[in-house]
Chains A and B, each alone.
Chain A
Amino acid sequence: MTHVIPLLFRRLRAPLVVLITTYAVATLGLVLIPGEKPGGEPWRMDFFHAFYFITYTSTTIGFGELPYAFNAIQRLWTLFAIYATVLAWFYMAMALVALLLDPAFRQAVNVARFHRSVRRIAEPFYIVCGYGENGALLTRALTDQGLRTVVLDKDQERIDALKVEGLPLEVPGLCTDATEPDALVQAGLENWRCAGVIAVSPWDEDNLSIAVATKLLAPSTPVICRVLHQETEANLASFGTDLIINPFRTFADRFATAVRSPSMYLIYAWLTGLEHQPREERVTPPRGTWILCGYGRFGKAMRHRLSQEGVKPVIVEADPEKTQPPVGTVEGRATEAETLREAGVEGADGLIAGTDNDANNLSILMTARAINPDLFTVARQCRSHNKSLYRAADVDLVLDAGTVTSREVLARINTELLPELLELTLDQDETWAGALAARIRAVAGDTLPTTWSLQIDNQRAPAVLDAIAEVGFAHLVHLLSDPRDRSQWLPAVPLLLKRGSELSLLPDPDTTLETGDRLLFCGRKGADRVMAWTAEDYNLYAYIRTGEERPQGLLWDWLASYCKGDSP
């Protein structure tokens, strides 16, 4: 940890000593030189006047020869004093400027400033390592949800980009190598408010070192790590990394879900949707014949998951030596119509353009569509700035690693219970998912639904606890009613109830609530705030429960009970 002020003084030591010495010599000289009063009477300047004279002379203010006119010797000394002290000041100024321009000093200032703004964060925060395409998207998604983040990146340009990004919350960023443990500590790893470290650098090696450092320095801090290689994944899992995201495999999983149950995929996409991105609509990938172009890391993940769903894709690969595709692979460039025809594009139902080059992927899509316009198309988008091209190409499903990663991270950290819900839905079928999707669409309309959780405790739901204490029960339906008009429903769907370790999916509105219950809802934006209001406000809750406006305040309370008691 570099301290700025000690560094400043250490570097300015020489100019300061020179300055003090020059002043001392100049002042002493004036005191020692004999002078005369106007009458010719001998006179010696005292220290007070000498210091006064030197002070205004060296700063070139120049009030004149005070208190009496000088003689020739005094003037000679004054000449020396002026040049010496002014030069000493110049030396001081130059040293200061040189120091301020020194890259090492500026880095020290940046570090100190970064450190201060991290310390000022008064809420739980996440450390995002790597502000590339993934990191930028993730940071935006997290800050949109009101989560505080701290960003580390090796590249100063990216940190500069962060500063002008215009995020809704202040995000401290520092240009440093996050694989150095010191950098993580500077970013607040050992701060008790640090809620987790998210390593989304494009290099697996870096993410691995960050995860190791975090687990050693702060074992209880969760680590979320993005990887692209399977070997790294196994390595990370071996020391307890809390969440490992392989965007290719995650996407393959979600795609398999979409093949099995389109509504289930839709629910997942809605519950983990990102703001500032268009809401996903229902897609129905066919179960028939598929062509998979590119057998790299993405292609392998897709083939693996598809074969688990009973779909055997025809693989097209330009460099079979390197990627070792299975037997039956069509060799050649999928960008050429000839190769695609060989793979049977005329009779195929779907095509996956999964090479690691956006231009090739788009070319594959256009060529294949020209031959067979009814294809269901899936494409891998490698660079986020090509987003508009993929949108224009009207692809049915696009894999954008940044979006996939951000969604997974948000699903894990933003809302309690959401991971549990997503796990439970895996066992449900298309009918169930279709019904739920229809319910969510009914409350959220065309907007992206928001998800939130509520715990029945003294802090977040005192009104519910109050009702339980007073009348012995509280129903879920109370929370789902609109406190402005109790006959109306809030646009919200209860998704999950967790009581102890017991989970119940889609709890009935008549369920009674108990202390310590945790609930997960999804609904239209804003419904979460209204519900939080009901759960907190005794009067609102009493109105919903009884339909009566409760008198507010002791006096009205007393009056009401008085009137009730008196009037028969």
Chain B
Amino acid sequence: MNLEKTIFAFVIVLAMTINFGFYLGDIDNPAHHNVYELFAAIVVSLIATVMKLGERTQIGALLLATSLVADVQLLIAAVVWAVAVQTLETGLTPPIMAGIVSLSGGALLANLVSVVLLVAETIMGRR
């Protein structure tokens, strides 16, 4: 067992699961989507990106790309949330919530690809 590999896989899978937890629920219902979960998803996703930085293999480059996609999507979702709550008088309306959740859905897809790549690399490495 390799501790470094374990931590690496842990962070990547965690990024996906938290993201999934946030995504779960009615798409336009603010009560189904927790702001703490979004925060955690962003933090874990950023850490996952840093872990992937500096890889020189082809799969490493793909992993980094998917992670960057997830970061971008989640950060935009967070910005939309903050703008809605802080500046709009109506607050989190269902259409805005739907936008935020669909953005996180995109990030979830990217994270899913990330995990698939990780699994593929692990299987390829086992001879």
Contact = CB atoms under 8 A, between A and B. Distances in A.
B50 interface: yes
A31 B36 CA distance: 9
Interface of B is mostly: helix
A17 interface: yes
Interface stretch (B23-31, B51-59, B100-108): B51-59
B82 interface: yes
B82 A48 contact: yes
Contacts of A28: 36, 39
Contact of B47 (A9, A21, A27, A31): A21
A304 to B, nearest CB: 57
Contacts, number: 47
A12 B36 CA distance: 28
A13 B85 contact: no
Contact of B86 (A20, A21, A27, A48): A48
Contacts of B86: 46, 48
B54 A6 contact: yes
A17 B48 CA distance: 9
Nearest to B64: A9
Contacts of B39: 24, 27-28, 31, 47
Given A17-B47, A20-B46, A27-B39, A47 B78 contact: yes
B51 A17 contact: yes
A3 interface: yes
A95 to B, nearest CB: 13
Contact of B54 (A9, A21, A46): A9
Given A17-B50, A17-B51, A24 B82 contact: no
A12 B82 CA distance: 30
Interface residues of B, number: 16
A10 interface: yes
B116 interface: no
Interface string B25-46: 0000000000110010001001
A20 B43 contact: yes
A6 B82 CA distance: 34
A7 interface: yes
Interface in A246-290: none
A16 B48 CA distance: 11
A28 B78 CA distance: 14
A46 B82 CA distance: 9
B6 to A, nearest CB: 15
B126 to A, nearest CB: 24
B51 A6 contact: no
B82 A13 contact: no
B50 to A, nearest CB: 4
Contacts of B46: 20
A17 B53 CA distance: 11
Given A6-B56, A47-B35, A47-B82, A16 B50 contact: yes
Given A46-B85, A48-B85, A13 B53 contact: yes
Contacts of B53: 6, 9-10, 12-13, 16
A13 B78 contact: no
Nearest to A46: B85
A9 B50 CA distance: 8
Interface in A432-477: none
Nearest to A11: B54
A7 B35 contact: no
Contacts of B56: 3, 6
B115 to A, nearest CB: 20
A13 B50 contact: yes
Nearest to B82: A48
A224 to B, nearest CB: 36
A158 B56 CA distance: 33
Given A6-B56, A47-B35, A20 B85 contact: no
A11 to B, nearest CB: 8
Nearest to B51: A13
Contact of B50 (A7, A20, A24, A27): A20
A16 B53 CA distance: 10
B95 to A, nearest CB: 20
Contacts of A31: 36, 39
A434 to B, nearest CB: 67
B56 to A, nearest CB: 5
Contacts of B36: 28, 31
B85 A24 contact: no
A345 to B, nearest CB: 70
Nearest to B86: A48
A28 to B, nearest CB: 7
Nearest to A7: B54
Nearest to A48: B82
A2 to B, nearest CB: 10
Contacts of A24: 39, 43
A13 B46 CA distance: 12
A6 B55 contact: yes
Contacts of B43: 20-21, 24
Contacts of B78: 47
Contacts of B51: 13, 17
Contacts of A16: 50, 53
A58 to B, nearest CB: 15
Nearest to A47: B39
Nearest to B46: A20
Given A46-B85, A47-B82, A10 B50 contact: no
Which 10 A-B pairs have CB atoms at the shortest separation, nearest pair first?
A10-B54, A9-B53, A9-B54, A48-B82, A24-B43, A16-B50, A6-B54, A20-B46, A6-B56, A20-B47
10 contacts: A6-B56, A8-B54, A9-B50, A13-B51, A24-B39, A28-B39, A31-B36, A46-B85, A47-B78, A48-B82
Interface of B: 35-36, 39, 43, 46-47, 50-51, 53-56, 78, 82, 85-86
Interface of A: 3, 6-13, 16-17, 20-21, 24, 27-28, 31, 46-48
Given A20-B47, A28-B39, 20 more contacts: A3-B56, A6-B53, A6-B55, A9-B53, A9-B54, A10-B53, A11-B54, A13-B51, A13-B54, A16-B53, A17-B47, A20-B50, A21-B43, A24-B39, A27-B39, A31-B36, A46-B35, A47-B35, A47-B82, A48-B86
